[in-house]
Structure 1
Amino acid sequence: MTPDLAAEDLARLYPELGRSETLQSILQTAVHQAGHGLDVLPERAPGWWRCGARVDGDSRTTNVLLGTAERAFIVNFRERGVMMARGTTTSLDAVVSAIGAWQSGTTLARLKSACPFVGHGPLAEAHERGDAVEAQWTRYRHTAARHVDHELIEAAYARPRLRALFPFHSHLTLNFSRCTGFPYTHDIPVITPANGSYRVTWWHTRSPDGPADIGEVGTPDDAVALVVGLLPDNCGPAVAGTAEDLDDSPSTR
């Protein structure tokens, strides 16, 4: 997908746009005609002014992009910083129905039932149920992905205070967040396996020169102990939402 598709190519794939309309404008018209009192906004990136649009709510967002190789409305459904579902369709009417359903607060199951082009996975269902933290740990404990150090995962999972946080990987580095949505919090040390040892650092935002070293140890248990000893005072179980929702988070000040 490229945002600079020629006007004539867009008009060929999307007659609704013609040579001058934008996805935002045609979606706004269609949404209002369908009886939904929603405002359609342009995609934030300037280069997508014709090919992207979004609908924002208090906690939910629907993003729509146009395909370029063939006619396709690419739709992503987000809630509180989590990609909950996505789908692709050639029908503008189907997009409008999905936007109306999602922004009205429907469940994933009902969204899928009403809009068969939409799909979602088990982790999204866990976010909906409110047990995303345990589901994420389970994914990492059972994954065959080569970038996941299972001894490190088990050592972290054995610590109740870390087990209550939301784990995520950035390349090889194991991170812990006090919220379950992106952007995550970055006020907890991270662990990076390196040549048989484990490097513990603060996230790079703590230092203008990159990650600030805390220490390098030889075992997962020792690495986890370093992290636990530096947990913030307000480090309770991870909550639904994003770092921006946690007003008292040092990572957002």
Structure 2
Amino acid sequence: MNERSGRVPSELYPELVAPGGLGEALAREAARRGYGAEPMDPVEGYGPAVAACCARGEARFVVYATNEDEREFRFEISADSGWPWGAFGSTDDLAVVAAVLQAWRDGASIGQLRREWTLLAASPLEAAPPGRVVSTAWRLTLERSRVIRLGDAELAEALYAQPALRVFFPFPSHGEFSLLSSTADPFYEEVPRVVPAGQGLWNVVTAWSRWSPGIPSRVLGSRLGAREAAALVAANVPAGSGPAIEGGWAHRPAAEPPVIGDIDG
């Protein structure tokens, strides 16, 4: 899987196979709709078939077609200051991208765009279609996107290379790398965590959790390379765990007393 490839699956993106790729496809769509067909710029690190960018002062409107499993045009709109956390969208319809892009080119603010198009969200994961939050998080992690929490690149790729781990939500933080069973707070962690051991090596540990207070932390492996650590994590996925649910973990931790008046159970 090469998210930055200049190639696209023709069955998913037939309009991007022609010379010029995504930028030219957007220009053709804009022309069909009577919009201004201004040229798009390349995106550093991506082939022209899968990414294109338009600038408006410091702001950027960037479109990606890097999903090789499903047809998806993912776009990011930065604020006028250049701050990347403006608005995010995802759609399978290139005409929708062209319409939002034209409104943005005409000077619409982030607020105006979000009022007009409900598909726009405040974060890339909120913009992900239902059922695709985990896969979106992995893709952005592997692409080294500036709009998602990033961990060590080699370790991220090694973890993703283990099919058993791809169903969990990647959550790097403070040098550590967790694979979670929920995509939002409250988070639930049942898979061993990878923590730095120095000199590019890693320890694999089971971390204490408020959800399982009776299970102490312990080290499963010490001073491992990224691939060894990922393989050890995959070998210690608890039976019956995963895939990650979208949203917060709904179940009360075992250590928490029931709330008076709670009738869930």
TM-score of the aligned structures, taking structure 1 as reference length? 0.47
Larger fraction in helix: 1
